[in-house]
A and B are shown apart, each in its own frame.
Chain A
């Protein structure tokens, strides 16, 4: 008993010849269908070149067009010839001219001999698979497709549209449940002959002639009628890109293909000499009895499709420049923005770095320069601290910074004294964690040695800027994780907010804060605010500070601000 190879060929005849010889040498008879589109002269030369092999035959030629019945007709004619001519064939394997056998022929023969009643054909109902590209799934069985998709696209689309609008539907022959799958199958003589010689073949053929892409559904549906045991997978390894076009294998896929242990792969780049040399030479070494294992290839190619369709979040480059609000990721990784914390706490930055292990920058959008951590002049990715280049395109500055420091959490300080051009971008970024203590910008003014009229003026300016920023943060378009406290609220009970922020950053294990940053001395701050009020400038972002007392200098140590579940 052996395996018969039905081969559909339309280009790269030299490679098809090589593969056919390989199969025949391994003891498998081959029936070749050559597309009528191949010029007669070429066909004759091809047939002549193979005429020295008695187990290679040529079947009646059809003009094949993708998506149409002609491909099924070609495989039917070739299969019939195979079953009639070669009585010892038990399985028939449908392959194309660009298929490459990856394992010695005997291994395939043995594998199938051990499974004499099994049909290997990928076959799933349309409702269950998301394979179809372009939207026609169940409708390919219920509409009519008289126009060519490749040559008459407009008519094709219009006619589909018309049938939909009129509600026209064809009847599926009684008893058939439409199934779809890869067109590369391997069927037993019993199943294949039942399909080809069944009493209803005329009716079924007439029906499938009007189905869209019948080579992916004819055998797949009918095998379900007759088969004893279906393994719903193809023995041919083939991968598809996001448009449903087959991935091509090149010389550099050699190791990957070898490790897949699959029997046959397609499509192969016709000039991949290394692949053809490696796989079509005589088998050396021990025979393997392993199952095909395309898992690794599947994963790698699935990743490639995702890279193509989704891209890498937060990356902006010459071939990835998403339109605003259509980004898959405004930035590449989560980061934290702190506003007002360095004003309230004396040692906030070193404390934060220690508590989280993150890289903690100063004011990245400071008017003089970007205050990188530890006073560095350039950061990962040769990002310069120059304010001029930063302000030339602040969105891009931030995207670059987060992209180039992937793998390390970034935190930075922000405030109303900084360049505000970045506010919308950050607010709309789900990667941003923004924590604001509103009104805290007044603490440096409180401690400064400026004249009071200048302080009043500056306070009014900063309050206006921060108020505008808060409006952005409160807009319905904001997607960042945003927390805002008034300063009065925050200094009243600073532990709980701090713990919440740290938990969300998530770099420390859930445990209670062991060390708290030191609150600045705010004695007299309430009076300072009252003085501003008395001057007619109303500072409201800080919340309500009592005039006489400063806030409690340190939180009550007995209180447990955070309960660990």
Chain B
């Protein structure tokens, strides 16, 4: 993963993924100055690269990470994440990633797709306490159970899933700009593979096509997105000035401004997160027959 100033989230992040059985972490530190570098250096199972270069110029870190995956992940199952993403799949409390990936392989699959699910607090943004190391789900527990829209995109046949709370709150009048929510973070890597656009789509196109009809429920998971922890407001202020995100940074100014206003994202239709069984029942992920 690539990160910048994520000291807040890292202790819990490492604890969470070690419990799922991740054997090694490969991290690119993009010029953090909040103590992240020291934290990473102390981790026994972590390799760290450091760069002050532009995140945007490296296609949002994808170029950096693709090189690492090519060099170190060939033949292994590789999971590409952001520091604010927690992977949830069927039975994740009791079964490790080793169990999941071995089962996927027995099914002849080499890809595991997910949808990003934005979690948000009950209160207006930025009005809570989050202590380092704490489970972020104590702070952000709510999500939108819909609506999520999917369409297939040419030329690489990736699915494009949009919708959810960020669209409801920030992009109501510009649905075409609503954030892309599908990701394929877990792939049995081959050195000829590449991510195209963050990990929303990959090459060769057959990786994207692994989720194809006719009407079956393929196995899939959810990335719980803990972006809206209290530090989001501070981060929005910084990102607004750095303009390192997204294809057209100016188009995002309205979004940053909206966050600086401490909006309340919660509505009576919001749903409280209870676990993967709930997400499966709502149709946001699927065990794909893994019982």
Residues of A within 8 A of B (CB): 239, 241-243, 245, 247-248, 250-252, 269, 271, 300-301, 304-305, 307-313, 315-323, 326-329, 378-384, 386, 388-389, 392-393, 396-397, 400-401, 403-404
Q: B270 near A400 (CB under 8 angstroms)? A: no
Q: List 12 A-B contacts (CB under 8 A).
A: A271-B99, A308-B216, A308-B217, A309-B289, A318-B114, A322-B213, A329-B215, A380-B146, A382-B267, A382-B270, A386-B173, A393-B151
Q: For the complex, is B192 an interface residue (Cβ under 8 Å from A)?
A: no
Q: A326-B214, A382-B144 are in contact. List 7 more A-B contacts (CB 8 A).
A: A245-B107, A317-B285, A318-B115, A320-B215, A321-B159, A393-B175, A400-B149
CA distance A327 to B213 in the complex (A): 8
CB-defined contacts of B99 to chain A, threshold 8 Å: 248, 250, 269, 271
CB-defined contacts of B214 to chain A, threshold 8 Å: 322-323, 326-328
Q: A318 near B217 (CB under 8 angstroms)? A: no
Which of B147, B213, B287 meets A307, CB within 8 Å?
B287
CB-defined contacts of A384 to chain B, threshold 8 Å: 147, 168, 172
CB-defined contacts of B218 to chain A, threshold 8 Å: 308, 319-320
Q: A388 near B173 (CB under 8 angstroms)? A: yes
Q: B107 near A304 (CB under 8 angstroms)? A: no
Q: For the complex, is B246 an interface residue (Cβ under 8 Å from A)?
A: no
Q: A400 near B147 (CB under 8 angstroms)? A: yes
Q: For the complex, is B258 an interface residue (Cβ under 8 Å from A)?
A: no
Q: For the complex, is B91 an interface residue (Cβ under 8 Å from A)?
A: yes
Shortest distance from the beta carbon of B63 to any chain A beta carbon, whole Å: 25
Q: B217 near A307 (CB under 8 angstroms)? A: yes
Q: B165 near A307 (CB under 8 angstroms)? A: no
Main secondary structure of the interface of B (DSSP, over half): loop
Shortest distance from the beta carbon of B221 to any chain A beta carbon, whole Å: 9
Query: Given A251-B94, A320-B216, A381 and B146 touching (CB < 8 A)?
Result: yes
Shortest distance from the beta carbon of A320 to any chain B beta carbon, whole Å: 5
Shortest distance from the beta carbon of B184 to any chain A beta carbon, whole Å: 9
Q: For the complex, is B126 an interface residue (Cβ under 8 Å from A)?
A: no
CB-defined contacts of A382 to chain B, threshold 8 Å: 144-147, 165, 168, 267, 269-270
CB-defined contacts of A250 to chain B, threshold 8 Å: 91, 94-95, 99
Which of A239, A317, A321 meets B212, CB within 8 Å?
A321
CA distance A382 to B282 in the complex (A): 13
Q: A381 near B269 (CB under 8 angstroms)? A: yes
Within 8 A of A (CB), among B200-248: 211-220
Within 8 A of A (CB), among B113-130: 113-115
Most buried by A among B176, B215, B219: B215
Q: A404 near B147 (CB under 8 angstroms)? A: yes
Q: A386 near B172 (CB under 8 angstroms)? A: yes
Q: For the complex, is B24 an interface residue (Cβ under 8 Å from A)?
A: no
CA distance A321 to B94 in the complex (A): 28
Within 8 A of A (CB), among B85-142: 91, 94-95, 98-99, 103, 106-108, 113-115
Q: B217 near A319 (CB under 8 angstroms)? A: yes
CB-defined contacts of B146 to chain A, threshold 8 Å: 380-383, 400, 403-404
CA distance A251 to B94 in the complex (A): 7
Within 8 A of A (CB), among B267-291: 267, 269-270, 283-291
CA distance A380 to B220 in the complex (A): 23
